[in-house]
Chains A and B, each alone.
Chain A
Amino acid sequence: MMRGHSRYGRIFVTYPLLVLISFIGLLPFYWMVACSFKTNENMFLMPLQWFPNPINWNAYGDAWKAQDFTRYFLNTTFIAVAITFGNLLLGSLAGYSLSKFRYFGRGVLFLLILSTMMLPLEVTMVPLFLIVKKFGWPNTYEGLIVPFVVDGFGVFLMRQYLKSIPNELIEAARIDGASELRIYWQIVMPLCKPALAALGVFTFREAWDMYIWPLIIVTKDSLRTLPLGISLFMSSFGTSWDQLMAVAAIGTLPMVLLFFFLQRSFIQGISISGLKN
C-alpha cells in the first residue's frame, strides 16, 4: 500500500519537483552562455529571446582582447595551484603531527588551529593588510599566496582522516628503520589519497573564488586575478553584456570541468567539511 502511494508521489510530485529544482540550478548557467552568444541589440528584447538568434560569435574573442584575460587566467591558476599544494603539504604534515604523535601541548595546538575556522578573513582583513604591507608584499604573488598557504580546515580534515589509519603500519615501518620523513612520505601519504583529493579540490575552488583579498592588495594589472578582471571588466566604460557574459562563462568553465572530472572528490570535500567529532 505504501509502495503504491509513494510511486504515485514520485511521478506526480518528486519528478516535477526535481525538474523544477534542476531548472533553478541551471538557469543562470544557461542564461550566461546563451547571452554570450546574443547580439547586443537582442539582449533586452521584449519578449525575451530564449535562444540566441542570430548567433554572435564575436563576444569571446572581443572580450579576451579587451583586457589581458590570458594573464588574469594564468595568475588565478598559478595562485590557486600554489595555495592548493601548500594546503595539501602543510595540512597533511600538521594533521599527521596532530593525529599520530603524542607530545606536550598537542590538544591546545589543535584547538588553536581549529579556532581559526571561526575567524573570517573579513574580520582580519584590515590588520592583515597592514601586516602584509610590512612584509612589502602588496602587489606580489607572495602576498596573494602565503597568508592562505595553510588553513584550519585542511589541518582538521587531514587529522580526522589520518586518525583512521592504523598505527601498526607506522610502527612496523619504524621497526624496519625507516626515517620519520620517509614514513610520512612513502607510507602515510599514499594512504591519504582520497582525503588529499577532497581537500585539494575544495581548496582549489575556494582559491579560485577569492575576491576580497586580491581586491585589497593587487593594484597592478599584471597581478590581477580572474575575479578581479571580471569585476573590473564589468566596471569599465562601454563594456557590453555579451562580452561580460563570455568572460563570466570562461571564469566558470574550470570549476565546471573540475566538478565533472573530480565529482567524487568535489562532493567529498564538502561532505567532509561537515564531519565533526
Chain B
Amino acid sequence: MRLFKRFLAVVLLVSVTWICSSTVDAATAPKQTKPGFAFPTENITIEVWWHEYGPFTAYVKELIEAYKKLHPNVTVNATIASSTDMNQKLTVALASGTGPDIMDADASYYVAYYAKGILEPANLGVFGVKSYPELAARYVSGGLASGTFDGKIYTLPYQGNSMSLFINNKLFAAAGLDPKKDAPKTWKDLMALGPKLKKVEGKRTVQKAFEFPYHSPRWQLQDLQPLTEQFGGKLLSDDGKTAYLNSPETLKALTLWRDVTKACGDPKNTKSTASNPNQDFLDGFTAMWITGPWATPQVQASPIKNDFTVVGLPQVNPAKPHTMVYGWAWGVNKNKPENSKIVAWDFVRFMLSKPDEWLAKAGFVQPIKGVSETPVAKKFPFFNVHMKDVQTATWYMRSENVNEIAQAVGRAVDSVVYDDADPKTALDAAQAQVEKILKK
C-alpha cells in the first residue's frame, strides 16, 4: 500500500512539475539590426517556405538555382505547403523554433506575426536605400501597405492581385452579347445580364451568368469587402479594433450580393472548391467570374484558351471606383542569426528583382512601378485592366483575427443565400461574434 502511495505521489509530483514548467519558450528578445550591408562569406544555410502553386513553385526553384550560382556559400532549402494550411504550419513551426528564415504568407496574416514579434524589418542596406519611404517609393501607391507596421516595412509582396471581372467571350456571343460593348460596368448592368446568360433545364442549372464565391469564407470576405467599400462603408476600422459588419453600407452590400446571386447563379450547383476556385468559370459553366490576374494561365490552359475578356470590377458608382487587392508576401524571421537574416533579405531582394519574369512565369503581378512598360506586361492579357484596379484598391483586411472575421462573414452570407435568412439579422449576428473576438 505504502509503495503504491509513494508511486502515486511521484506521479503526481512529476505531473505538477511538468505542468508548471510547461509554459512555452517565448520568442527571444529582439536584437538590433546592424546598419550597412556586408554579405557573409562563411557557409550559410537558409530555409524558405512557400505555398504550392505549380508555375510559382517551378519559378522559385529556378531562382534558388540561380542564387546558388551567385553565392556558392549559400544553401537554400525549400519547403512547400498547401495554401490552405500554410498559416497553421508556419505558426506551429515558429512556435516550436523550427520556423524558416523566409516565410511566405497571405498578406493579411502578417499583422498577427508582427504582433507576435516574429518579423524582421526590411534590411535597408540590402535594398540600397536609406529609408523606408525610399523603398516604398519603388512601389505603386499603397503597394506595400499590407506589410508596413508602425512606419517600418516588414514584408514585400510578390503578388498584389486586383480582383477583376473575367468574361467568357463564347458564352457572351451565344447569348447575342458583345463582351466589349456589353461588359457590365455596374452591378445593375451585371444583374440585367443575368436572365440572358443564366440557363436552366428543368430543375438543373446548366449555365450561370455570374456567381459570387461560396467555396471558402476568405473568398467571401474578399468580395464583400470591396462591395461594402463601394457603398462608402468599411468592414473594420483602420486600427483593427472596431467592426462595422452591421452598418447600413454592409447591409446594402450583402443585400446586393443576395440579389445578384438570385438573378445570375445557383450556388448549389458548382464544381469550384477551395483549391479550384475558378473551376466553374474554366468549365464554361459560369459566364462571368471575379478573380485575379494569377488565374490567367489557368484560363489559357482551359478550353476557353484566349477567348476571354477582363474588365474592371463592377461598381456601385463608376465615378468613384473602389476595388480590392489581395496577395502574398515574403517576410523574414527575426529569431535567426544576424548573417542568416542578411542572406535571407538578400535572397528576397534577388527573388523580387525581375517583376516581368514573375509575371511571365508565375502570372503574379508585383505592385511595383514600371512593370506596365515591360514587354511581358504588354503581352499579358488585360494587364492594364488589372493594374488600373490595383490603383483604386484597398488591401485585403488586415487583422490578427482575420480568419474568425472571414468565418463570421461567410456564415452571414451562407445563411442569407442558402437559408433565406434576413440580411440584417445575419449581419447583426456576425457583428456580435466579431465584437466579442475583438474585445479581447
Which A residues form the contact surface with B (CB < 8 A)?
A: 44, 104-105, 108, 130-131, 133-134, 136, 138-139, 216-217, 219-221, 232, 234-239
Q: Is the CB of A139 within 8 A of B22?
A: no
Could you say which residues of chain A place their CB within 8 Å of the CB of B275?
Answer: 234-237, 239
CB distance from A98 to the nearest CB of B (A): 15
Q: Is the CB of B93 within 8 A of A104?
A: no
Interface range on chain B (Cβ under 8 Å from partner):
20 to 34
Q: Which of B271-320 contact A (CB under 8 A)?
A: 271, 273-276, 298
A44 and B271 contact, Cβ closer than 8 Å, known pairs A133-B96, A138-B92, A138-B93: yes
Which B residues form the contact surface with A (CB < 8 A)?
A: 1, 3-4, 7, 18, 22, 24, 52-54, 79-85, 89-90, 92-93, 95-96, 98, 271, 273-276, 298
Could you say which residues of chain A place their CB within 8 Å of the CB of B276?
Answer: 237-239
Nearest chain-A residue to B303 (Cβ)?
Answer: A41
Separation of A175 and B27 alpha carbons in the complex (Å): 62
Nearest chain-A residue to B206 (Cβ)?
Answer: A46
Separation of A108 and B82 alpha carbons in the complex (Å): 46
A-B residue pairs, 4 tightest by C-beta: A219-B89, A105-B4, A235-B275, A138-B96
**Which of B52, B89, B92, B96 contacts A236 (CB under 8 A)?**
B52
Of listed A139, A219, A234, residue having the most chain B CB within 10 A: A219
CB distance from B187 to the nearest CB of A (A): 29
Of listed B90, B96, B271, residue having the most chain A CB within 10 A: B96
Could you say which residues of chain B place their CB within 8 Å of the CB of A219?
Answer: 79, 81, 89-90, 92-93, 98
CB distance from A25 to the nearest CB of B (A): 27
Q: Is the CB of A104 within 8 A of B3?
A: yes
**Which of B89, B90, B95, B274 contacts A235 (CB under 8 A)?**
B274
Nearest chain-B residue to A218 (Cβ)?
Answer: B89
Separation of A46 and B413 alpha carbons in the complex (Å): 30
| 22 A–B contacts from the bound complex (CB under 8 Å) | A104-B1, A104-B3, A105-B3, A134-B22, A138-B92, A138-B93, A138-B98, A139-B93, A139-B96, A139-B98, A219-B89, A221-B80, A235-B84, A235-B274, A236-B52, A236-B275, A237-B52, A237-B53, A237-B54, A238-B276, A239-B275, A239-B276
Separation of A217 and B93 alpha carbons in the complex (Å): 9
* Known A104-B1, A105-B3, A219-B92; 10 more pairs at CB < 8 Å: A108-B4, A138-B92, A139-B98, A216-B92, A219-B98, A221-B80, A232-B52, A235-B85, A239-B275, A239-B276
Q: Is the interface of A mostly helix, strand, loop or mixed?
A: loop
Could you say which residues of chain B place their CB within 8 Å of the CB of A44?
Answer: 271
Could you say which residues of chain B place their CB within 8 Å of the CB of A238?
Answer: 54, 276, 298
Could you say which residues of chain A place their CB within 8 Å of the CB of B83?
Answer: 235, 237
CB distance from B113 to the nearest CB of A (A): 16
A105 and B98 contact, Cβ closer than 8 Å, known pairs A235-B82, A236-B275: no
Of listed A108, A136, A220, A238, residue having the most chain B CB within 10 A: A238
Separation of A32 and B143 alpha carbons in the complex (Å): 46
Could you say which residues of chain A place their CB within 8 Å of the CB of B24?
Answer: 130, 133-134
Q: Is the CB of A131 within 8 A of B22?
A: yes
Could you say which residues of chain A place their CB within 8 Å of the CB of B98?
Answer: 138-139, 219
CB distance from A158 to the nearest CB of B (A): 22
